[in-house]
């Protein structure tokens, strides 16, 4: 959401990739999201030797394998596999082990020559799985799906109001969030712990649920990088049928825009590629997995990498459209980097970042205590969602006695926490939960200590 990336220049097979924006057409149907299916080895953009190696290693792992299993394992079309298998049969490295009534009901297995070739290929790389896409193809699709494109849909007031309905945020705060999202620039939410900043940041991922294409793996300078993570790239429920289209390249998975959340655990080594000897691939760092989605950095200033160092790197990478990531003891690779960046901190912004960083962050928005009216409304809403009976006298007691006398601010985290503890105590005693004076006092004391409710 920061600036506009220029489309990567493509040559060869990748030049046919559609660059139209994904989403829905005028009739509400899904438009084309996944790239077109390659019909030949050349169409894949991959070297024929790499495709051959993947087929041989898969046959080595599976033994006798039907053509349908090979297409599922390698995510390649039948026509591409037939091209490779015919060459292997001609070279006496594979043979037909079984042939049924249809052209698809064919089983293949390696010969002794093929087994020997498999050993040589496995010595080079242990990777067995979906055929990768090229870096050029991945870069083009990331650009096409970017929310920074001039014609990309922008968040509307109606959408944001619907998302934040019942959260109790002041209208001025909503206006700032809306302007920040419209601008596409990085956003910093700051305020006291418990004010709801993290919940708010993660909620913003719900604003764009249009499907995107994510490659299972990508080939970068003769190395395979795993990209698809089902936990981060769930299949959109309304678009499952699109995966089954015969015209689509099965090397790409259909996904919702990802939400990647990193916190204090983030360290320098987590920003780079990680070698996985067992699978024979490189694992992408979390910020690269967030491509075309939302990247939330929680508790900024508490990471195991200085916040200024982290932000200068990422802000520069966003402006360039790519980040340079390294393999320990190995080369550096320039990978696409296109995310909506939301930063969250309980510290004062100028205590976390220098002036140069702060100038490059589009919007710095304070998220503080709620108004009394908003706090009451939030408590009522959450009690209704939890199906907990709520006494009006309990609300007055909570605000006027527990909060006012103890000096604790009306923070958005408290209704959820207090109602959860009321439900815990009720469940333990086998009673129906009820938010009354006694229940609130018990919940408050368990949260803050006995003396805090005096």
Q: pLDDT of 253-296, one tens digit each? A: 999 999 999 999 999 999 999 999 888 899 999 999 999 999 99
Tokens 């309304």 sit on residue = 238
Quick: pLDDT tens for 339-369. 999 999 999 999 999 999 999 998 999 999 9
Question: Is residue 180 over pLDDT 90?
Answer: yes
Query: Considering only CA atoms, which of 159, 168, 202 is closest in space to residue 342?
Result: 202
Domain 135-366 coded CATH 3.40.50.920:
no
Q: Tokens standing for 36?
A: 């077109």
Q: Could you tell me which CATH number the domain at 47-130 has?
A: 1.10.10.10
Confidence of residue 320 (pLDDT cuts 50, 70, 90): very high
- Can you tell me whether residue 92 is helix, strand or coil? coil
**pTM of the complete model:** 0.88
Question: Is residue 143 over pLDDT 70?
Answer: yes
Domain 372-453: which CATH class? Answer: mainly alpha
Length of the chain measured in residues: 454
Confidence of residue 313 (pLDDT cuts 50, 70, 90): very high
Using alpha carbons, list the distances in angstroms from residue 187 to 135, 193, 349, 420.
29, 18, 12, 30
Query: Considering only CA atoms, which of 275, 274, 14 is closest in space to residue 135?
Result: 14
Quick: pLDDT tens for 55-107. 999 999 999 999 999 999 999 999 999 999 999 999 999 999 999 888 788 99
Burial class (CB in 10 A: 0-12, 13-18, 19+), 100: exposed
Average pLDDT over residues 106-115: 97
Which residue ranges make up each domain of the chain? 47-130, 135-366, 372-453
CB atoms within 10 A of CB 259: 20
Residues 6+ apart with CB under 8 A from 109: 59, 63, 64, 65, 94, 95, 97
Question: Residue 345 and residue 190: Cα distance in Å, rounded?
Answer: 5
Strand 217-220, strand 434-435: pairing: unpaired
- Lowest mean per-residue pLDDT among 24-33, 192-201, 375-384, 440-449: 24-33
In this chain, the answer to whether the domains covering 135-366 and 372-453 adopt an identical fold is: no
């Amino acid at each position: 959401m920061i600036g506009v990336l220029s489309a990567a220049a493509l040559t060869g097979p990748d030049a046919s990739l559609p660059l139209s924006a994904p989403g829905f057409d005028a009739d509400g149907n899904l438009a084309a999201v996944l790239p077109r299916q390659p019909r030949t080895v050349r169409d894949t953009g991959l070297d024929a030797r790499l495709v051959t190696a993947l087929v041989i290693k898969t046959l080595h792992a599976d033994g006798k394998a039907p053509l349908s299993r090979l297409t599922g394992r390698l995510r390649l079309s039948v026509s591409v596999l037939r091209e490779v298998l015919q060459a292997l049969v001609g070279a006496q490295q594979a043979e037909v082990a079984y042939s049924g009534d249809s052209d698809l009901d064919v089983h293949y297995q390696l010969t002794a020559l093929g087994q020997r070739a498999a050993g040589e290929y496995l010595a080079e790389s242990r990777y067995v799985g979906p055929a990768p896409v090229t870096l050029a193809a991945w870069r083009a699709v990331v650009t096409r799906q970017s929310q920074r494109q001039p014609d990309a849909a922008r968040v509307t007031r109606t959408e944001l109001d619907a998302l934040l309905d019942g959260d109790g945020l002041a209208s001025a705060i909503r206006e700032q969030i809306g302007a920040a999202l419209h601008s596409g620039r990085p956003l910093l939410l700051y305020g006291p712990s418990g004010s709801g900043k993290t919940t708010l940041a993660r909620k913003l991922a719900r604003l764009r649920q249009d499907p995107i294409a994510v490659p299972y793996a990508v080939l970068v300078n003769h190395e395979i990088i795993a990209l698809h993570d089902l936990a981060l790239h769930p299949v959109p429920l309304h678009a499952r049928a699109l995966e089954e289209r015969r015209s689509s390249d099965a090397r790409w998975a259909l996904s919702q825009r990802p939400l990647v959340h990193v916190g204090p655990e983030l360290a320098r080594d987590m920003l780079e590629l990680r070698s996985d000897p067992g699978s024979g691939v490189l694992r992408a760092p979390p910020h690269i997995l967030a491509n075309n989605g939302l990247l939330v950095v929680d508790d900024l200033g508490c990471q195991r990498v200085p916040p200024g160092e982290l932000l200068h790197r990422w802000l520069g990478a966003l402006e360039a459209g790519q980040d340079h990531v390294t393999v320990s003891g190995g080369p550096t690779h320039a990978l696409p980097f296109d995310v909506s960046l939301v930063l969250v901190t309980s510290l004062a912004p100028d205590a976390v970042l220098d002036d140069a960083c702060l100038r490059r962050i589009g919007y710095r928005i304070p998220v503080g205590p709620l108004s009394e009216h908003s706090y009451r409304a939030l408590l009522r809403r959450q009690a209704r969602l939890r199906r907990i009976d709520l006494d009006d006298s309990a609300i007055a007691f909570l605000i006027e006695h527990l909060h006012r006398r103890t000096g604790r601010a009306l923070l958005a985290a408290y209704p959820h926490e207090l109602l959860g503890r009321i439900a815990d105590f009720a469940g333990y005693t086998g009673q129906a939960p009820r938010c009354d004076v006694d229940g609130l006092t018990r919940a408050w004391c368990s949260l803050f200590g006995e003396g805090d409710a005096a």
